[in-house]
């Protein structure tokens, strides 16, 4: 069987009250449409056809590199039936067509694959039971069988009491769908061509119609406003947290964890409250993440501890490291085993060898720091001259005293010492002590300003 997918993504999203196309609003760190396209692609269709509207150029630009996608512009927008009709000429005549919505990001492959399988020579659609069905098309049944779908705007009071709703997901052979769409009219309150009308037409023609109730309504319901988006976000985050816990991770409060990308974690990790993961994050075993940390596109080895309020972005952290609290690791940071990066320490494009320490208020940027070094409180690498960035090379076993200023380009060789408060501008040879500060001078008989204001000075 050949499968092709039509994704309806032309809606204006007026209830979002945004200049951003609705399908580009993020859920779990990615556009709504990205989730739908990933699920559709998992079915291995021959092609995916995405119908876009007024903000189509923005949507296309966001997914310019996505494979197997053809774009269809619906202008003017005359309803969902019109949108599918615009895409059908691009679909192979021997294909089964699956129609999904670009604003249903929680749908999974299982229900879609079942819908395609059950279509056969007829029509299959996915429905859901809602406690509050307002705004959704209702499923009308006769003797237990689907008789049609009535849109909310056209429904009677009795029909509005129906809790089974249309999700917008359906499948049918190409020839059947094309024939049914040809019989759809715009004789309704909205003056639009409803895709849902194909159901009643199919019933009238004795075409088999199968309704598949979704096991979880949240997974097949579209997002129309920001409140619904927030509810979908929490549902998605809860499922992601549950998946981590199933893999042996302790999540202190699943309601206060955000995964905006992909997290792979070993066993016995502990994730405290308020943690945000973005991009691709890999955690080894026995990793502990303290409260209110942000970790993005990074790899953390076994037994790493990240203390509260730390931000890790684009870093590779070897086993046994201790990070934070209040540490900031920027892209290009590489830490060897058992490195300590303490409070208010920032690193950028910096490598620190095994056992190195920068425990307080330091900046290490565009630098290579050898094993077993100590970077004192307030020490910084001056890597930027106003135009270009320069490197600092620090050997192994180096001690850099507090408030030292290392002006790059600079080399500090193995086992050297830099005295506290020094400004270092030239190479420090192996085992040397570098002192780069003005000579202290004590002035006797000096009158403090307060005494001068009181007239008590000399």
List active site positions.
Answer: 360
* 3-state helix/strand/coil string of the chain: CEEEEEEEECCCCHHHCCCCCHHHCEECCEEHHHHHHHHHHHCCCCEEEEEECCCHHHHHHHCCCCCCEEEEECCCCCCHHHHHHHHHHHCCCCEEEEEEECCCCCCCHHHHHHHHHHHCCCEEEEEEECCCCCCCCEEEEECCEEEEEECHHHCCHHHHCCCEEEEEEEEEEHHHHHHHHCCCCCCCCCCCCCCCHHHHHHHHCCCCEEEEECCCHHHCCCCCCHHHHHHHHHHHHHHHHHHHHHCCCEECCHHHEEEEEEEEECCCCEECCCEEEEEEEEECCCCEECCCCEEECCEECCCCEECCCCEEECEEECCCCEECCCCEECCCEEECCCCEEEECCEEEEEEECCCCEEEECCEEEEEEECCCCEECCCCEEECECCCCECCEEECCCCEECCCCEEECCEEECCCCEECCCCEECCCECCCCEECCCCCCCCCCCCCCHHHHHCCCCC
């Amino acid at each position: 069987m050949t499968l092709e997918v039509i994704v309806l993504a032309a809606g204006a999203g007026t209830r979002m009250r945004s200049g951003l196309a609705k399908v580009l609003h993020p859920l779990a760190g990615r556009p709504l449409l990205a989730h739908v396209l990933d699920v559709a692609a998992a079915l291995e269709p021959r092609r995916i056809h995405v119908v876009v509207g007024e903000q189509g150029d923005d949507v296309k630009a966001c997914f310019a590199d996505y494979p197997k996608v053809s774009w269809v512009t619906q202008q003017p927008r005359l309803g969902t039936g019109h949108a599918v009709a615009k895409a059908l000429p691009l679909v192979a005549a021997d294909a089964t067509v699956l129609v999904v919505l670009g604003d249903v990001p929680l749908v999974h492959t299982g229900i879609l694959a079942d819908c395609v399988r059950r279509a056969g020579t007829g029509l299959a659609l996915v429905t859901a039971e809602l406690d509050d069905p307002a705004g959704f098309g209702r499923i009308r049944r006769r003797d237990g069988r689907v008789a049609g779908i009535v849109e909310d705007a056209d429904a009677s009071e009795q029909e509005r009491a129906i809790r089974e709703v249309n999700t917008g997901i359906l499948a049918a052979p190409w020839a059947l769908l094309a024939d049914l769409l040809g019989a759809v009219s715009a004789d309704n309150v909205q003056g639009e061509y409803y895709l849902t009308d194909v159901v009643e037409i199919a019933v009238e023609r004795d075409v088999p119609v199968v309704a598949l109730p979704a096991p979880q309504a949240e997974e097949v319901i579209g997002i129309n406003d920001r409140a619904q988006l927030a509810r979908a976000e929490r549902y998605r985050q809860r499922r992601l947290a549950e998946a981590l816990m199933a893999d042996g991770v302790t999540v202190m409060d699943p309601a206060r964890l955000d995964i905006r990308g992909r997290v792979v974690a070993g066993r016995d990790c502990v994730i405290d409250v308020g943690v945000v993961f973005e991009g691709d994050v890999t955690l080894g075993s026995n990793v502990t993440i303290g409260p209110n940390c942000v970790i993005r596109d990074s790899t953390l080895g076994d037994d790493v501890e990240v203390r509260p309020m730390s931000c890790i972005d684009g870093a590779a952290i070897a086993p046994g490291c201790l990070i934070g609290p209040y540490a900031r690791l920027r892209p290009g940071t590489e830490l060897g085993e058992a490195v300590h990066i303490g409070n208010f320490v920032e690193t950028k494009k910096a490598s620190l060898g095994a056992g190195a320490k920068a425990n307080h208020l330091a900046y290490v940027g565009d630098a290579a720091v050898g094993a077993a070094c100590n970077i004192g409180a307030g020490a910084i690498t001056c890597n930027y001259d106003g135009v270009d960035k320069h490197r600092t090379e620090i050997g192994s076993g180096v001690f850099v005293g507090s408030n030292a200023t290392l002006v790059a380009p600079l080399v500090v060789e193995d086992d050297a010492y830099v005295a506290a408060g020094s400004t270092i501008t030239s190479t420090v040879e192996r085992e040397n002590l570098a002192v780069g500060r003005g000579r202290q001078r004590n002035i006797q008989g000096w009158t403090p300003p307060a005494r001068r204001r009181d007239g008590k000075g000399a």
